[in-house]
Structures are given as structure tokens and as C-alpha cells.
């Protein structure tokens, strides 16, 4: 079927390029991993003039993307872009333990170029390649990509789900159109009566988030780190036992609701993953039990627009979704190959489309700040301000086209909707690789 907004292909949606400045045109929003493709926007004098279907987060993303642009710099001085690329290549070439970090705002083509660069450097050095997902949804993503956890698309959720569980996640804040496009409000093939009669949403969280407020009676407040105990209580009620929790009645009601569910979806966020840490097998146990009774799928609440794409590419290449080192032509995986471990021993950092000095724990950020940083980024950030070399790139989704992977694994293609003289992340990485 032809999409109303674009030329639908088997790989996903391809949005048509508009005719020019000031005209309304179809756009993809890269403000979060929902990659909403029904945005109508127009730009004038480099700023957003009109926007339809853009949520408040997307609006902020489009506005912020066009201000505070990075400039090519070497050692704090403005420089020509060619010189900045040359200097970046020299730094990486002379490093013995470089860290290549970020990637979640890049297209698949740029991520592939990054993996190729890591492999090339890894022939003679020890290179760590990692993204922010390695200490949050990457753990779950690896289980999904290896087939240990059942997943589905968000279109399946819209069509079939009668129960949605937001666990340690708050899509109303992080992915504002999640509930309206997929998980609660829309009518679907088998859910014509939708949220009014047919859908129930449950929130499990340490705070009463905006999403938890919507779930009213089905909000379960946990103490920090209380997820393992909560899972044990759910397992107990599913087996007809009395749960070891204060509000036994509410937990038994939850057990009945889960048993009556025809098609359920769980959307885990960082809250669940940080809380369970090395007890993720408990979550797998719960899913296995739920799927003995009914059908439950998992779609992790991936934050950034193409974080899943990076996980998928790395998994195809190495069998793991993150925390990889390349050395002497082979790859190694594990916590000792993660960004947090690399921060303590790396001697150069390439940060692409990310701001590790703001995002990482303070100890790791401080360690990185003491090393020469090369930042490839369209925007100015704490990391670009501290970097030895800054290479500005075209904005993914606005000035640079390509493909990204939505949080549920659906590929979305897009073309640039604004003209830019800047190189794309991919072009910069290829040029660095050539210079090395
Ligand atoms: S939900 Fe995400 S992708 Fe959709 S418009 Fe909002 S920020 Fe953009």
C-alpha cells in the first residue's frame, strides 16, 4: 500500500524532498527513536517557521538543532575543515588505545563507517567502540537481537495490544507521541474501541511520572532497586501464591489482569535496567511465565534516534550490541571493553554525534576530558568546547539523509530537507580513514 506521505519501500518510508526554503515539506523527526515521519515543516532564514504533528520535544529538537552550531576548531582556534580532519587523523594514528564513542544520532551509513574505522585502527592498536546504550537498553537489545526475548513492531502494538506496561519508562516525557501513535490512544485492527474500552496501561516506576498518572489504578510505585522483588511478587501471583508485598490485593488484581490479557507489550526503560543490573534473568523468567499463559512482547524504550541501528550493526558484525574492542584483527566483548573501562585507559577519544562529557558518569567524563578529544558534531556541546579538534557535520534528518532504525527495528529512510555545505558524519569518517 502506498503511504500518503511518502514513497513507501520494503525497507521503510522515504520522505520526499521539498522544493525549497519557506515551503512546507514532509520531514522525519530525529528527536527520539520513534522517528515520526508525518511531520510537515517549513524553514525560513535557518529557523523553523511552521510545524505540524511535531510534539514539544520534537519542536525543541528542531529549534535547538538550528542554533548553537559547532565550528571547525583545532586547539581552541578556528581552523579550516580540511586541517581539522587532517589533525584528527594524526591524533588517532598516534594513539595506542583510542576510544570511538557515540553513534546514536548518526545514520546507518555513518555508523558503518565508524565500525570500519575501528577495525582499521584495531589492526595496529587496541580500539574500544561503544555507545551510551551499553549501560542501559543495550543489555536488553542484545537479548532481543539474539532471539532470547520476544519482540514486535509498534504497528503490532497499535493493532493488537490490549495491555501495555511502561516499566521504568515514561514515554509521555521521553517519547511524547508513543501513546498517541501506538501504545494507548490509537484504534488498531483488533482494537477499534481502544483506550476507552479495550486497552489498559500499567506503569511500574519509582515516581508518579506523567505516564503513571494516566495509568491511575494500575500505577505500581517501587522503591529504588525494588524491581527484582516486584518481579518475584508477580511470579508468585501468576502461580496462585500469596505475594510478599504490602498491598497483596492490588498485586492479585494485577495477576488477574495479566492472565486475562490477550496480547501484551512491555516497554522497559532505563529505570528497570539500572535496577535489575545483573538480575536480568529474573525479567526473562517473568516473560517466559507470561508467555506460557498468554502473549507478551518487549520493545525497549531506546532513547536516541538511531541507537538501535548502532546496536544492530555491531551485533551483525560481532555478535554483541556494544562494549567491543578491536585488536590485532579480532574483537573482544565485555564490561572491560566498555566506554567506562576505556575512559580509564584510553589515550584519545573520537566522539561522534554525542556529548560524553555531559552524559557519562562524572568519573568517566573527567577521565575523558584529560585526553585529546576529537568531536564530530553538528552542535556545540560541553564535549566540543573541551575538544582538541572539532569537526562540524550536517544535521541528521535535516541536512543529511540516510537510514535510521526505529526503536522497534523498523528501518526509516529520509532525505535532507535543508541545504547545507557541511560534510555528513559518514563523509568526515571516510576522509579521516583515508588520511590514516
Ligand atoms: S515523538 Fe519523538 S520523533 Fe515523534 S515528533 Fe516527538 S520527538 Fe519527534
Q: Got the DSSP string for 356-413? A: HHHHS-HHHHHHHHTS-EEEE-SB--HHHHH-SEEE--PPBTTTB-EEEE-TTS-EEE
Kindly provide the residue ranges of all beta strands, DSSP E only, lying in 161-223, ordered along the sequence. Answer: 163-167, 200-205, 219-221
Q: Is the CB of 176 under 6 A from ligand 1?
A: yes
- Ligand 1 atom closest to the CA of 61, numbered from 1: 7
Q: In the chain, what is the straight-line distance between the N-terminal and C-terminal CA atoms, in Å?
A: 46
- By residue count, the chain amounts to 436
| Contact between 137 and 270 (Cβ < 8 Å) | yes
Task: Retrieve residue 169's grid coordinates.
Answer: 519508562
**Best probe residue, ligand 1, of 57, 302, 303, 306 (max atoms within 8 Å of C-beta):** 57
pLDDT at 386: 96
What's the 33 CA to ligand 1 centre distance in angstroms?
A: 8
Q: How many C-beta neighbours within 10 Å does residue 407 have?
A: 26
pLDDT at 21: 58
Three-state secondary-structure class, residue 427: helix
pLDDT at 41: 87
Q: Which domains occur in the chain, in start order?
A: 6-65 (no CATH), 73-135+305-435 (3.40.50.740), 138-298 (3.40.228.10)
Nearest 5°: phi and psi at 96? -100, -30
What's the 58 CA to ligand 1 centre distance in angstroms?
A: 5
Question: CA quadruple 373, 270, 181, 299: dihedral positive or negative?
Answer: positive
Three-state secondary-structure class, residue 414: strand
pLDDT at 46: 72
Task: Pinpoint the alpha helices (H) of 161-279.
Answer: 171-174, 178, 210-215, 227-238, 248-260, 270-276
Pairing of β 25-27 and β 402-405: unpaired
Type and span of the H or E element at 284? helix 280-293
Q: Is the CB of 36 under 6 A from ligand 1?
A: yes
How is residue 335 annotated by DSSP? Answer: G
Q: Is the CB of 106 under 6 A from ligand 1?
A: no
pTM of the model: 0.90
| Contact between 424 and 108 (Cβ < 8 Å) | no
Q: Is the CB of 35 under 6 A from ligand 1?
A: yes
- Ligand 1 atom closest to the CA of 34, numbered from 1: 3
Which residue has its alpha carbon closest to ligand 1 atom 2? 32
Block means of pLDDT (10 residues each) for the chain, length 436 residues? 36 39 82 95 81 92 83 96 97 96 96 96 93 83 92 97 97 97 94 90 96 93 94 96 89 96 96 87 95 96 95 94 88 86 94 93 94 96 97 93 96 90 96 95
pLDDT at 14: 36
What's the 69 CA to ligand 1 centre distance in angstroms?
A: 21
Task: Retrieve residue 60's grid coordinates.
Answer: 525543541
What's the 41 CA to ligand 1 centre distance in angstroms?
A: 13
What's the 288 CA to ligand 1 centre distance in angstroms?
A: 32
Among 200, 207, 334, CA closest to 269:
207
What's the 261 CA to ligand 1 centre distance in angstroms?
A: 29
| Contact between 331 and 130 (Cβ < 8 Å) | no
C-alpha–C-alpha distance, residues 31 and 138, integer Å = 19
| Contact between 101 and 356 (Cβ < 8 Å) | yes
Amino acid at each position: 500500500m502506498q503511504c500518503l506521505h511518502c514513497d513507501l519501500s520494503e525497507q521503510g518510508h522515504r520522505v520526499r524532498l521539498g522544493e525549497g526554503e519557506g515551503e512546507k515539506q514532509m520531514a522525519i523527526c530525529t528527536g527520539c527513536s520513534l522517528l515520526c515521519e508525518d511531520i510537515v515543516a517549513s524553514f525560513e532564514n535557518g529557523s523553523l517557521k511552521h510545524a505540524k504533528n511535531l510534539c514539544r520535544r520534537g519542536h525543541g529538537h528542531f529549534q535547538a538543532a538550528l542554533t548553537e552550531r559547532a565550528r571547525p576548531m583545532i586547539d581552541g582556534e578556528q581552523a579550516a575543515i580540511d586541517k581539522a580532519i587532517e589533525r584528527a587523523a594524526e591524533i588517532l594514528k598516534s594513539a595506542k588505545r583510542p576510544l570511538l564513542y557515540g553513534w546514536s544520532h548518526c545514520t546507518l551509513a555513518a555508523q558503518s563507517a565508524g565500525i570500519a574505522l575501528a577495525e582499521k585502527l584495531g589492526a595496529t592498536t587496541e580500539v574500544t567502540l561503544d555507545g551510551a546504550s551499553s549501560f542501559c537498553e543495550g543489555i536488553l537489545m542484545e537479548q532481543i537481537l539474539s532471539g532470547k526475548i520476544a519482540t514486535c513492531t509498534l504497528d503490532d502494538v497499535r493493532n493488537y495490544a490490549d495491555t501495555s506496561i511502561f516499566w521504568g519508562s515514561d514515554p509521555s516525557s521521553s517519547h511524547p507521541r508513543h501513546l498517541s501513535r501506538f501504545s494507548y490512544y490509537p484504534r488498531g485492527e483488533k482494537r477499534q474501541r481502544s483506550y476507552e474500552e479495550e486497552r489498559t496501561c500499567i506503569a511500574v516506576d519509582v515516581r508518579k511520572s506523567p505516564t503513571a498518572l494516566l495509568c491511575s489504578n494500575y500505577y505500581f510505585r517501587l522503591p529504588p532497586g525494588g524491581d527484582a522483588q516486584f518481579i518475584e511478587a508477580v511470579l508468585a501471583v501468576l502461580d496462585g501464591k500469596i505475594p510478599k508485598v504490602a498491598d497483596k490485593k492490588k498485586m492479585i488484581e494485577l495477576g488477574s489482569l495479566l492472565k486475562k490479557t490477550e496480547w501484551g507489550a512491555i516497554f522497559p526503560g532505563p529505570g528497570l535496567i539500572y535496577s535489575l543490573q545483573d538480575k536480568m534473568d529474573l525479567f526473562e523468567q517473568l516473560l517466559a511465565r507470561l508467555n506460557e499463559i498468554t502473549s507478551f512482547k518487549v520493545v525497549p524504550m531506546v532513547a536516541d534516534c538511531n541507537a538501535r541501528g548502532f546496536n544492530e550493526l555491531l551485533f551483525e558484525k560481532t555478535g554483541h550490541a556494544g562494549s567491543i574492542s578491536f585488536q590485532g584483527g579480532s574483537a573482544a566483548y565485555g564490561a572491560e571493553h566498555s566506554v567506562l573501562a576505556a575512559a580509564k585507559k584510553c589515550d584519545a577519544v573520537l566522539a561522534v554525534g554525542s556529548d560524553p562529557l555531559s552524559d557519562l558518569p562524572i568519573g568517566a567524563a573527567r577521565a575523558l576530558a584529560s585526553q585529546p578529544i576529537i568531536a564530530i558534531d553538528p552542535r556545540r556541546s560541553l564535549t566540543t568546547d573541551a575538544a582538541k579538534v572539532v569537526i562540524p557535520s550536517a544535521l541528521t534528518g535535516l541536512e543529511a539523509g540516510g537510514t535510521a532504525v526505529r526503536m522497534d527495528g523498523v528501518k526509516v529512510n529520509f532525505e535532507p530537507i535543508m541545504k547545507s555545505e557541511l560534510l555528513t558524519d559518514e563523509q568526515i569518517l571516510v576522509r579521516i580513514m583515508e588520511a590514516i
